[in-house]
Structure 1
Amino acid sequence: MFSVDMEDYNPLLWRKNEMKKALVLLAMFYCFGANAQSIDIQFNKNIELLGYIIEMGEPSENDPNHPISIAIHQFPEDKNNPALTKLFELGETIDYSTLVQLMYRLPEFPHEEGMEYSSEILSSTAYDLLLIRSIIEQVNQFSKSAHFEEVWKNLDSARSATLQQLDEHKPSQKLIGELEHFYGQSYSQYEIVPSLTLWSGPGFGIRSQEENKATFVLGPLEKDYDFTSDLFTSLTIHEFGHSFVNHIVEENNDIISKTSELFEEIEASMRQQGYSNWSTCVIEHFVRAGEVIIPELMGDNATSQSNLQYHVIEKDFIYLEYLVDRLKEYRLDQKLSYSEAVSRTLKDFQNHFQPEKDQVETIRGVLRSVDSEEPIPFAPIGIPGKHLGTISKPDGSYEINLSKASPNDSLVFSSLGYKRKAFLISELPAYFDVSLEEEATLLSEIVVTAKKEKSRDEKFGRTKPSKRTRGQNGLKEFGFGGEQGIRINALNPYFLEEVSFHMRFNTVDSALFRLNIYEINEDGLPGKSLLKQNLFVKSEKGQNWIRKQLEEERLFINQDIIITYEVVRVWFNPRSTNALYLTFGKGYPEGGVYLRRSSMDDWITDTPEAFPITLYVKGKVY
C-alpha cells in the first residue's frame, strides 16, 4: 500500500518537485509566519468540574494510590450526591465532546440562582434547550453541594507541576506556523486546556469565531496523569486541525452527501470510534490528512508515514491515503488555497470511488422458503469475510449494496433451519428472488431422569454492569447482521435457563434483538450454532436489563460457548435521540470478546472495537 515504484524514479524530477514544495512553503511563511502565535496552556475550572463529575460516576483506571487519585477521591460521599445521579440520567445520550464545549463556554461555577445564559451558549449544541438548561442546573447544584472546591484547592500543586511538564514538551511555535501555512488560515490565540480529572486519552477541539481563538482540551495522555507522551504533537495537530478544517469541508456538503454510500464499508468501525455519520467521517479523514502532511512538511517523514499507516490500518480510515495524495497535489504542487484544494479533492474522490460501472451495484429481492413459500425474515445475507452484509426484512425482502464487492465474490443467503445458498455476484441481476430449502437440525435431546438430586442455579458471564458504555444514536430501522458477544466459561455442566444482557441507555420506543449461541471452533471463534430456531427478545424504552427465558430450548451446556446479541429491528421514538448504548461488564476474566460488523463478516476479537459487554447466563447445575 505504501510502496514506491523505482522504475518511475527520476532524481532530477524529484529534486525539482521538492524545490517547488520548498518555494511554496517559503511563500506561505511570508504570508503567515510573522503572525504565528504561541500556545497558551492553562487549566479551566469548569472542565475540571466536569471531569470530577465523570470520575465520581465512572472511575478511571488510574492507580488509586497515586497522590492525584487520592486527592480526587478524598470525598467518596460525593459519589452518592443526588445531583450526580440526575446528571447521568440527563446526559445519557449526550456525547462528551458536547459537554466539554458547553462547560468551556459557560461562566465559572457555581452560579447564582436565576442566572441568565446567552442564547449563543445554549444554542451551541444540537440538543434540546430544556435539556441543556436542566444539565446546567444540576451541575450548579453539584458544584455547591459536593466537595469540588476542596478538591480543586488540593490539586493546586499538581496543576502547577502539570503546567511545567506541558510547557517543557509543548509543541513549538514552528508547528503553529506550519499549521497556518498549510491551511492558509490563522487565529489570534491558541490555547491548550489540560485536565487532571478527565479520563486519559481524549482530546476535544473548540473553535471560537468571536474571539478568533482555537482551543483544545485534553486529558492525560497516558494513565496515571502522564502528559509527557510523544502523542502530544500529533494530538495538537489533530485538535487544532479541527479549527482549520471543519468549516471548509462543510462547504462541500453537496458532494459529501452524494458519496454517502461509501460510509457503509466502514460504518461499524467509525461508530465504535464515535463518528456516527458520513459527514463527520469525511471531516475526520481531512483532519487526519493534516496529521500526515504537517509532519512531512516539518521534515519528519517517519512520523508522517507512521500516522498514515496507523489511521488506515488500525483505525480503518481507508480513504485517507487517496485524500492525502490529492491534497498535496492541489495545495503544495498547484499552490491552490486550502478551500479550493479540498473542493477539488472531494470531486476527484467522488469520481475515483464512484465511477460508472457495468456491474449491478444494488441487488434487491425477496427471500422465501421453498416448502411453504412463506417469507424468511431477518435472514443473514452477505459476502463471507467482508463487511458487506445485511439481513432480510420481516416480509423477506432485502436490499444490499455491492459496489465494493469483487465480481468473483459470492453472495450467501442463510437462516437457521435452512440450507444456505451462494451465488456469484457477476451473474446476479438487479432484482433476484431466492428460495431456501428447509434443513433438519440434528441436536441431541437431553432427558432428565427423575433422580432426587439437588440442583442449584448459577450465573456464568459478566454479571456486573459498569457505568462505562458504548453505542450510537440515530439508528437505522433494520439491522445489518452485526453481532457483539462474549465467551461464557462452563465451570460446571448446566441446563441453560436464561440469557440476560444490559443496556445503559435505551431511548428508542422498542427494539428487537436476536440472541446467537455458538460452539467454539478450533480457531477460538464462533463456530456452529447450538440453536434449532432463532431466539428473539424485545425491549421497551428505558429498559436496562433484557432477558430471554430458554428452558424450552433444552440446551445442556458442558463446554465453553460464545453468546452474541444483534439488533434486528428498531421502532423509533419521535421525541427521543433514539439511542442504544451497551454497558461494559465487570466481574469476569479479561478476553473472550467478539464482534462481527455485519452478516458473514470476519470476527474481530479481543481488540478495542470488541469490548466486554454485560451479558451472562443462568443455568441449573445438578
Structure 2
Amino acid sequence: MKKICLPVFLLVIPWFIRAQDTLDIRYDVNLETMAIIYNLSDAGSFLFEHNPPPRAMLARAITNRFSDLSDHEAVQWVNYLYEHDMVDLYDIDLSLYMTPLPEFRQYAPFPEMYYENDSLSAEEVQAIFDSCHAAVRRFYQDAGLEDFFRREAAPLYKKMMQELSGVRPPENYLSAFRSFYGNSADTYSIIVSVTSFNGIGRSRKITLHAEDHIYQFVSADPSTQSANIDLDHTENITIGYTDPEYFREIAVHELIHTAFERPLRYDSTNLLLIERLSFLYNAPMEKAMNAQGYYSWSQCLDEHLVRLGEYQLSMLTGDTVQANRYLQYCISERGFIYLPVLQNLMEEYINNRELYPDIASFLPVLLDAWWRSEQPEFD
C-alpha cells in the first residue's frame, strides 16, 4: 500500500457541520495530533530526510518540540503499521474516522483496502488499529496536547486562519462539482494543518448513517511557508496558505478524487476495463508518472481523470483562461498526453445527462470507448 506522494475554536467546533453546498474550512485536533506522531515515526523521518531543509521547517520545529516522545508507544505503533504495509507513508487523515480527542473512538470503518491483508482477518486488522488508537489517546495526554493547542500553538492557528481568508475557493465550485459529477454529499470540509509535512493533499469520503461527508486535506504550500521558524516569535511566520492558486488546485484536485474513488477501485467491470487499457502505460508514460510519485497504471488513469475534472470545473465556474492554461500545462509539462482523447470522449457524458445521471454510470462507457480510440504517443 505504500506510496510516496509526495479565539481558539478548534476544540469546540461541531463534529459534523451540516452545510450543503457550503464549504467548511478548518483544522482538526485529531489530524494535528497524528501529524506530530507520524513526524516522529520512521515514515516522518523518511519524508524529512528525502526532502531536506528548507522544506517543511514549521513541521520540523513543532516535531522537535516533542522529540522526547520519539519512543512513545503511539510512535512505535505507527512504525509497526507502516513496516507491515498496513498504512501509507503519511496516512494522518485516517484520524478523520475518529471522534475528537481525547475520546478518539472509530465511528466508521476505514476504506476496504485497509482490511485487505494476506495473513490477517479483517477483525484482526481492526484489533491492531484499535490498539494504535488507544496509544494515540495516551500520547495526547502524555504530550499535553490539549494545552499545547489551546495556548502555545494558538498564535499559529490564528495566523493560519488569517491567511486562509484570502485564498478561499469560490463557493460555486461545490455546486459545479455536484452538478457535473452527480455527486451529492451532506457536508464538505477542507482540513488545513500547522503540524503536518507540507505540500500534501488527500481526500476522504466518509459515510455515516447513510450520510456522506467529504474531507479534503490540504497541507501548507512549501513555496510560501517560512524557512526560518521561531516558535517563540510567530508574528513573522508565514504558515503557507497565501497562494490562492495553490490552495484551489489542491482542494479541487482532492475533491474530484472522491468522485472516482469507489467506481475505479471497487467496481469489477471497471477494473477489467482498466486492465484492458494497461497497454497505455508504456515506458515513456511510466517514466513521466514515476517522476510525479505515481507508480501504477491505475494511478495514472485516475490522475488523468482528475486533472480533466479540474479543467472542466474551471470551465463551469467561468475561469476559461485558467482552465485552458492548466489543460495545456498538464499535457505538455506533466505528460498527461491522454487528456485530449478523454476530453473528446466526455462529450457523450456532457450531452446525455438523462442517460448518465452521475459519473459512475458513465465510466464503463468511457473506458470502453477509450480502448477503441486512437491513442497519442509521446514526442
Aligned to 2:236: none
**Structure 1 length-normalised TM:** 0.46
What aligned pairs does 1:160-175 form with structure 2 within 5 A after superposition?
160-175=158-173
Q: Displacement, 1:190?
A: 0.8
CA 84–45 in structure 1, closer or farther in 2 if over 3 Å, else same: same
Aligned to 1:263: 281
Post-superposition CA distance 1:14-57 (Å, at most 9, x none): xxxxxxxxxxxxxxxxxxxxx96110112111100111123334
CA 226–101 in structure 1, closer or farther in 2 if over 3 Å, else same: closer
Secondary structure at 2:24 match in 1: strand
What aligned pairs does 1:5-20 form with structure 2 within 5 A after superposition?
none
What aligned pairs does 1:10-49 form with structure 2 within 5 A after superposition?
37-49=21-33
Secondary structure at 2:114 match in 1: coil
Instruction: Write the distance in 2 (CA, Å) between the matches of 1:207 and 1:96.
Output: 19
Q: Displacement, 1:314?
A: 3.5
Post-superposition CA distance 1:573-610 (Å, at most 9, x none): xxxxxxxxxxxxxxxxxxxxxxxxxxxxxxxxxxxxxx
Q: Displacement, 1:89?
A: 4.1
Instruction: Write the distance in 2 (CA, Å) between the matches of 1:247 and 1:65.
Output: 32
Of 236, 253, 256, 1:241 maps to 256
CA 279–353 in structure 1, closer or farther in 2 if over 3 Å, else same: farther
Of 102, 117, 121, 2:94 maps to 102
Aligned to 2:4: none
Instruction: Write the distance in 2 (CA, Å) between the matches of 1:255 and 1:264.
Output: 17
Amino acid at match of 1:42: R
Q: Retained in 1: the 8 A contact 2:187–2:212?
A: yes
Aligned to 2:212: 212
Instruction: Write the distance in 2 (CA, Å) between the matches of 1:67 and 1:88.
Output: 22
Q: Displacement, 1:194?
A: 0.5
Instruction: Write the distance in 2 (CA, Å) between the matches of 1:234 and 1:152.
Output: 28
Of 189, 196, 199, 1:198 maps to 196
- Does residue 128 of structure 2 align to residue 125 of structure 1? no
Q: Retained in 1: the 8 A contact 2:289–2:300?
A: yes
Q: Displacement, 1:289?
A: 0.8
What aligned pairs does 1:311-326 form with structure 2 within 5 A after superposition?
311-326=330-345
More helix as a share of residues: 2
What aligned pairs does 1:384-395 form with structure 2 within 5 A after superposition?
none
Q: Which of these two proteins has the greater Rg computed from alpha carbons? A: 1
Of 259, 283, 305, 2:324 maps to 305
Q: Displacement, 1:186?
A: 2.2
Post-superposition CA distance 1:347-367 (Å, at most 9, x none): 221012589xxxxxxxxxxxx
* Unaligned segments of structure 2, at least 5 residues: 1-18, 118-124, 227-238
Instruction: Write the distance in 2 (CA, Å) between the matches of 1:137 and 1:127.
Output: 22
CA 64–345 in structure 1, closer or farther in 2 if over 3 Å, else same: closer
Q: Name which structure has the greater RCO, CA cutoff 8 Å, separation 6+.
A: 2
Q: Displacement, 1:123?
A: 5.5
Aligned to 1:56: 40
Aligned to 2:232: none
Q: Retained in 2: the 8 A contact 1:197–1:219?
A: no
Q: Retained in 2: the 8 A contact 1:293–1:304?
A: yes
Q: Displacement, 1:121?
A: 4.1
Aligned residue pairs, count: 319
Aligned to 2:136: 139
Aligned to 1:5: none
**Structure 2 length-normalised TM:** 0.72
Q: CA RMSD in A?
A: 3.4
Post-superposition CA distance 1:292-330 (Å, at most 9, x none): 111122232232123223333343323222112221x22
- Does residue 348 of structure 2 align to residue 351 of structure 1? no
330-339 vs 58-67, greater mean Cα deviation = 58-67
Post-superposition CA distance 1:86-121 (Å, at most 9, x none): 532431333146x23421102334459xx7x56724
Q: Displacement, 1:247?
A: 3.0
Of 225, 231, 242, 1:228 maps to 242
Q: Retained in 1: the 8 A contact 2:277–2:371?
A: yes
What aligned pairs does 1:537-556 form with structure 2 within 5 A after superposition?
none
Instruction: Write the distance in 2 (CA, Å) between the matches of 1:76 and 1:344.
Output: 53
Instruction: Write the distance in 2 (CA, Å) between the matches of 1:181 and 1:65.
Output: 37
Post-superposition CA distance 1:394-416 (Å, at most 9, x none): xxxxxxxxxx799xxxxxxxxxx
CA 45–280 in structure 1, closer or farther in 2 if over 3 Å, else same: same
Amino acid at match of 2:342: L
